[in-house]
Amino acid sequence: MNAERVRDLYELLDQVTGYIYPNEIEIRWSILIVVYPYLTGLVAGAFILASLVKVFKVKEVEPTYRLSLLTALAFLLVAPLPLLFHLGRPERSFEIFLTPNPRSAMAMFGFVYAWYLMAVLLLEIWFEFRRDLVLLARASRGLLKWVYRVLSLFSTDISEAALVFDRRAIRAITIIGIPSAFLLHGYVGFIFGSVKANPWWSSVLMPIVFLMSAIVSGIALVIFLYMVLTAIRDHPIDMRCLDTMVSYLFYAIIVDFSLEALDFIQRLYESEESVKILGTLITSKLFLSLLVLQILLGMLVPLGILVIARVWTFNDDMRKLLYFASVILIQVGIFSTRWNVVIGGQLFSKSLRGLMAYKMEVVSIEGLLAALVLLVLPFIILAVMIRVLPTEPLEDRVTVPSKAPAPESPEILPLPTSGS
Amino acid sequence: MKIPEQVRRLGLVIGIIVVGVLGTRFFLIPRSLISDELHQASTVQREVAKPVKFAGSSTCEGCHEEVSGRVRKGYHKNLMCEGCHGAAARHAEDPGQGKPFAPRDRKFCPVCHSYDASRPTGFPQINPTAHNPVKPCITCHNPHDPVPPKTIEACSACHPQIQRTTAVSSHALLKCTTCHVVPAQHKKTPRSALPSKPEGREFCGTCHAKGATERDAPKVDLSTHGGRFLCWQCHYPHLPEGRG
C-alpha cells in the first residue's frame, strides 16, 4: 500500500465510531462495485420488458421492443468493465474462461455473462434486425454498405418463409432469455446473499430483491430513453405504449417495495445479534442514501406520483411530465439501493460494535470519475447503435439520403421484398 | 428439411467461435496451466531451477557457534540468521566473499517492533519517533539476545516519572549522577539535602560542544548556539528532543 493511501486511511480514523478490527478501515469494494449491479440490473430489466412483446404478446409496448434490446446490449457490454477496472490484474480475467473453476461463484459469472451476451442477446438482436440489415445493405453505398453486409453475415434471404423462421427463432430465444436474464441478475444478488459472514447481505431474499429492483430500473430506463428519443426525433409519443409500460413499472415497484419491506420486517422480528448495529447503520451512515434517497425519493414519491397519475385523469402532457419525473427518481432510488447494499454492507465491523466510513476517491481508477465514465459509456454505445440500427422496423421502401447537393426530398429507392 | 440460409451463416460464425475457444482450450494453452498436478510440478521445477541464495541457519551455526548459541536461548530464537543479515549462500561457500549485511540503522528493527494495534498483546512495540531517537537500536539492545536494556533505576523509587521518561530518551544510558551530585543525606531527608543541578552551558558542553569526546552526542558551537539562554531553557534534559 502506498504512503498516500495510508495517509488517506488515517484521516478516516476520526470518522470511525465504536470498535472495529484493524484491517476493516479500508473499504475494498468501491463505487465501481456499486455501478456493476446497477448496470446488470438495467440489462435484465430492459430485456424483461422486451420479452413482454415476444413471449407475452403485449402489443402495446411493441414500439419500444428494439430500443429495449439495444439498451440491454449497450449496458451489457459495459457491465463487466467496473469489475475489470477493480481488478489488480485485469489482463488475467480471461483465464476464468480457459481454466474454469466450477466451485467459484464469481468465476461462474463469466459463463453466465457469456451465455447471456452470445447465446441470448446478440442472437435475438441479429434475428430481429436481419431483415432490416439486408435492406439497408442493399440501399447503402460505400463503407456503410459493407458494415451492414458484415452485420447481416452476408445473408440476403428475406423471403416470407425466412422471416417466419426469424420470428420463431426470436420467440424461442426470448423464452430461453427470460430465465437467462433472471440468472444474470439473480446471480449478482446471489453473490451478496451468500456472504454468510455479513448480516446485511446474507439473506435468501437477496437474489429476488435484486431481480425485482432490476426490472423496475430497466423498465424505468427504457421509458426514459423512449421519451427522450421521441423528443429528439420530434416524433409523437405513443401514449398507449407509454401508459402500458408505466403500469408494468407500477406493478414492479409494488412487488419490489413489498419484498424489501418483507426483508426489513423479517430482520427486525428475528432480531439477531446484528440488529443493533444495523439499526445504527441505517440511522447514521445510511440515513441519506437509504431512508431519504432510496425509500422516500426513490420509492414512495414515484409510487405516489404514479398512483396520482392513475387515479386522476390528466391530459397527455401532464402524464408525460409525471412519468418522466418518476422514472428519474426511480433511477436515483435504484442506484441508492445498490450503494446501500455494496457500501452499506462494508460500513460496519465484523465485531458488530463499530462503524467505518467510506471515502470515495475522485480521479483514481476506482474513483468517482471512472464510475461516471462507466455510467455514461452505455449511452454513447447506445447512440452509435441507434445510428446504425433502426429502432423501428423499416418499410419495404427505404429512404437513402443522396450525395450533395442536399436535395429537397430524399431519394426513394424501391427495394425487392424477397431474397435473390 | 432445408436449412434456412441465415441459420447456415449463423452456424458458420458460431462454429468458428466454438472451434476457436475449444482449440485455445485444448491445444494452445499449455497442459500445465490446466492440470493441477502438472501445474504444481512445473511450479516446483521453476523454483528448483532458480539459484540458491540462502544458506540456512544450521549452516551459519557451523562457524558462528557462539553467536547462534546466544540467539537460540534468547527471544529471537525463532528467527533465521538470514532474516536480518540477508541471503548468505555465497558467504557460506566462501567466507571471504559476500560478507553478510548487518542492519545498524534505526529503520530495520521497527519493521517488526514499531507500534501496530494488530500485533499480539505483549509483543515489544515502540514508537520510533519518540523512543530514544537518533541512536541506533543496537546501542541499547543486542539483537542476538534482545533483553530489555538495564536502564538506570537508582532514583526511580521516588522519581518514577523522570526515570520512565529518561528511559526512552537519548539520555537513557546516563546515570542520574552524571548530571546531579546527590548527597548521601538526600535519601534520608530528601527536602533538606537537595541534589545539585548543572549551572552553566559548559556542563552540557562537556558532551555536546564541538570537539567533545562523546562520539554519539550531537555537537553545537557553544559560542553561537542559543545566545544567552541556558541549554535547559530550550532542551528538556530528561527527554532531549529527537531528530531521527
Asked if A22 lies within 8 A of B29 by C-beta distance, the reply is no
HSE-CB of B12 using CA atoms within 13 angstroms: 10
A62 DSSP assignment:
G
**pTM exceeds 0.80, yes or no:** no
Return the percentage of chain A with pLDDT > 70, whole number. Answer: 94
Whether residues B33 and A98 touch (CB distance < 8 A) is answered with yes
Q: Above 80 in pLDDT, residue A146? A: yes
pLDDT digits (tens, 9 = 90+) for A256-283: 999 999 999 999 999 999 999 999 999 9
Residue A319 pLDDT greater than 60, yes or no? yes
Contact between B33 and A162 using a beta-carbon 8 Å cutoff: no
Lowest mean pLDDT among A68-72, A115-119, A301-305: A115-119
**Segment holding A399, helix H or strand E:** strand A398-400
**What pLDDT, in 10s, does the model give residues B73-117?**
999 999 999 999 999 999 999 998 888 988 888 888 999 999 888
Which residues from chain B sit within 8 angstroms of residue A155, using beta carbons? 5-6, 9
Give the pLDDT score at B135. 77
C-alpha distance from B35 to closest chain A C-alpha (Å) = 9
Question: How far apart (Å, rounded) are the C-alpha atoms in residues A99 and B30?
Answer: 11
User: What are the φ/ψ torsions at residue B45 (nearest 5 degrees)?
Assistant: -60, -45
Which pairing describes strands A398-400 and A354-355: parallel, antiparallel, or unpaired?
unpaired
Length, in residues, of chain B: 244
At residue A172 the predicted structure's pLDDT band, cuts being 50, 70 and 90, is very high
CA angle B19, B22, B25 (to 5 degrees): 145
Q: How confident is the model at residue B1 (pLDDT cuts 50, 70, 90)?
A: low
Q: What is the pLDDT of residue A133?
A: 93
**Tell me, what's the pLDDT at A291?**
94
User: Which pLDDT belongs to residue A69?
Assistant: 94
ipTM of predicted assembly, 2 dp: 0.74
**Residue B199 phi, psi (nearest 5):** -110, -25
Q: What would the mean pLDDT of A124-139 be, rounded to a whole number?
A: 93
Q: Across the interface, do B118 and A123 touch by the CB < 8 Å criterion? A: no
Give A225 to chain B, closest Cα distance, Å.
Answer: 31
Residues B4, A419: C-beta atoms closer than 8 Å: no
Q: What residue of B is the nearest CA neighbor of A160?
A: B4
Q: Do A162 and B24 touch (CB under 8 A)?
A: no
Residue A17 per-residue DSSP state: E
Chain B partners within 8 Å of A123 (Cβ)? 10
Residues 173 to 212 of B: which have CB under 8 A from any A CB? none
Q: Does B120 touch chain A (CB under 8 A)?
A: no
Query: Mean pLDDT throughout A146-167?
Result: 91
Whole-number pLDDT of residue A68: 95
Report residue A407: phi and psi, to 5°: -80, 165
Omega within 30 of 0 (cis) for the link into B195: no
Given A123, A127, A157, which is nearest B5 (Cβ)? A157
- pLDDT higher than threshold 60 for residue A34: yes
Nearest to A331 by CA among A304, A307, A297: A297
Q: What is the model's pLDDT at position A405?
A: 43
Angle at B51 between CA B48 and CA B53, to 5 degrees: 115
How far apart CA A181 and CA A311 sit, in angstroms, is 33
**Average pLDDT rounded to a whole number, residues A35-53:** 92
> What's the rounded mean pLDDT across residues A218-232?
95
Q: Which of A95-104, A336-345, B89-98, B224-233 has the highest mean pLDDT?
A: A336-345
- CB-closest option in A97, A118, A155 to B6: A155
DSSP secondary structure letter of residue A412: E
pLDDT for B242: 54
User: Which residues does chain A have within 8 Å of residue B34's beta carbon, measured at their own beta carbons?
Assistant: 98-99
Beta-carbon separation of B6 and A153 below 8 A: yes
Scanning every residue of chain A, which has its alpha carbon at the shortest distance from the alpha carbon of B34?
A: A99
Q: Where does A271-293 have alpha helices with state H?
A: 275-283
Chain B contact set for A157 (CB, 8 A): 4-6
Residue contact B7–A165, C-beta within 8 A: yes
CA distance A343 to B46: 42
Tell me what the mean pLDDT of segment A79-93 comes to.
90
pLDDT at A414: 46
**Predicted local confidence at residue A396, as pLDDT:** 56
CB contact under 8 A, B33 and A99: yes
B240 pLDDT band (50/70/90 cuts)? confident
Q: Is the pLDDT of residue A406 over 80?
A: no
Query: Can you tell me the distance from the alpha carbon of A276 to that of A298, in angstroms, rounded to the nearest whole number?
Result: 25
Q: Is the pLDDT of residue A403 over 60?
A: no
CA pair distance A41, A214, nearest whole angstrom: 4
Give the number of residues written for chain A. 420
Q: How far apart are CA A174 and CA A49, in angstroms?
A: 11
- Whether residues A155 and B9 touch (CB distance < 8 A) is answered with yes
How close is the nearest chain A Cα to the Cα of B148, in Å?
27
Q: What is the DSSP letter of A348?
A: B
Nearest CA in chain A to B12: A153
| Yes or no, beta carbons of A157 and B7 under 8 Å apart | no
Q: Compute the distance between CA of residue A149 and CA of residue A134 in angstroms, rounded to an integer.
A: 7
Instruction: In whole angstroms, give the CA distance from residue A224 to residue A232.
Output: 12
